[in-house]
Amino acid sequence: MLTSVLHAEIYEQPEAIRRMLDAETDRVAELARALAARDCRYAIIAARGTSDNAARYAQYLMGASLGLPVALATPSLHTRYGARLRFDGALAIGISQSGTSPDICAVIEDARRSGAPTVAITNNLDSNLARAAEFVIPLHAGPERSVAATKTYTTQLAALALLTLSIAGDTTGLAGLAAVPEAMAATLALDARMQEIAGAMADAVAAVTIGRGYHYATAWEIALKLKELTYVPTEPYSAADFQHGPIALVRDDFPITLVATQGAVADDLTTLATRLHELGAHLTAISDVPAILDVADRPAALPVSVEERFAPMTAIVAGQLLAFHLARARGFDPDNPRSIRKVTETR
């Protein structure tokens, strides 16, 4: 295999999360104590692209663990419509690898001006976002040289999990989180299998990814990697939304990637997988649920099962490898995607 920066960074992820957890666990415990004194009734997260998918993960994790509704910010309200949003009762979080996108900074600046607690999650301590926020959680991912984000995504998920579990005082959960890097490392064993699946998908003209609950984020992030690296138009869905209309797309051989691991929605997704199979879809399943792997045309069996709330950090590794190999199978260079740059500044 030719060397690839992207491929190397996919493999760096377990170590990056370990580094972040080692450096930040005590600091985030302090941050959690500081937040306890503030009136946080809901969270609002500003993010774009990959970081917005990390925000989708937080919607489920913070909702289930803290009972906290999570809103995804609409930055153009701040930068284009001059809206003066009230932030009383909000915990405002900005997520950005580079920390430079002006619209994300604008949301956090407005929130801080209103007195709401603000947290920046970024790989760049020397950034406008880090300066704008009252609190910062650095990702410790090291420089990310690929245009397509991988290790900054999974460290963002881990940072959000660390923050949420620390606020919840969930020491069992924190112990589970500490074991995630090992499970991610084991998941890298799917590399050859994802290459086989990519070979079978090389001619796709469009695709869909589906997840539910915690893996809604995983479905979005796999779809984004496929678009960035393979140029296959791929739309992500929640299993429920997909049935409200878009299921009409499915015809013979339509490629669908389903992400479903053991937990609260496994039964729903088993039912959906069976229906999609009957409709003639070509189903790739990234899963540790035997009934789903059985019905899939292209099963990718996750070698290690983790708690459902942590599975987005393992399952995405399989998705990243799929995007990497599909780019190559289609004759593209995964290290040099067209038309995009590492840092996109939108206003």
- Please report, as residue ranges, which positions from 110 to 169 form the binding site for a second copy (by CB under 8 A): 148
Assess 60 for contact with a second copy (CB under 8 A): yes
Selected binder of a second copy within 2, 37, 88, 143 (CB under 8 A): 88
Backbone angles phi, psi at 282, to 5 degrees: -95, 110
Assess 70 for contact with a second copy (CB under 8 A): yes
User: Could you count the other beta carbons within 10 Å of the beta carbon of residue 81?
Assistant: 9
Q: Shortest distance, CB of residue 49 to a second copy, whole angstroms?
A: 3
Nearer to a second copy, 229 or 313 (CB): 229
Per CB under 8 A, which of residues 229..288 are in contact with a second copy? Answer: 229, 231, 233-235, 238, 240-241, 243-251, 264-265, 268, 279
Nearer to a second copy, 22 or 267 (CB): 267
Assess 328 for contact with a second copy (CB under 8 A): no
Assess 71 for contact with a second copy (CB under 8 A): yes
Count of residues touching a second copy (by CB under 8 A): 73
Per CB under 8 A, which of residues 194..213 are in contact with a second copy? Answer: 205-208, 212-213
Nearer to a second copy, 31 or 73 (CB): 73
Q: Shortest distance, CB of residue 196 to a second copy, whole angstroms?
A: 24
Q: In this structure, are residues 206 and 232 in contact, taking their beta carbons and an 8 Å threshold?
A: yes
Per CB under 8 A, which of residues 166..195 are in contact with a second copy? Answer: none
Using the contact rule CB under 8 A, the part of the chain among 10-18, 47-55, 118-126, 315-323 near a second copy is 47-55
Strand partners, 344: none
Give the x/- contact pattern for a second copy in 13-32, rule: CB under 8 A. --------------------
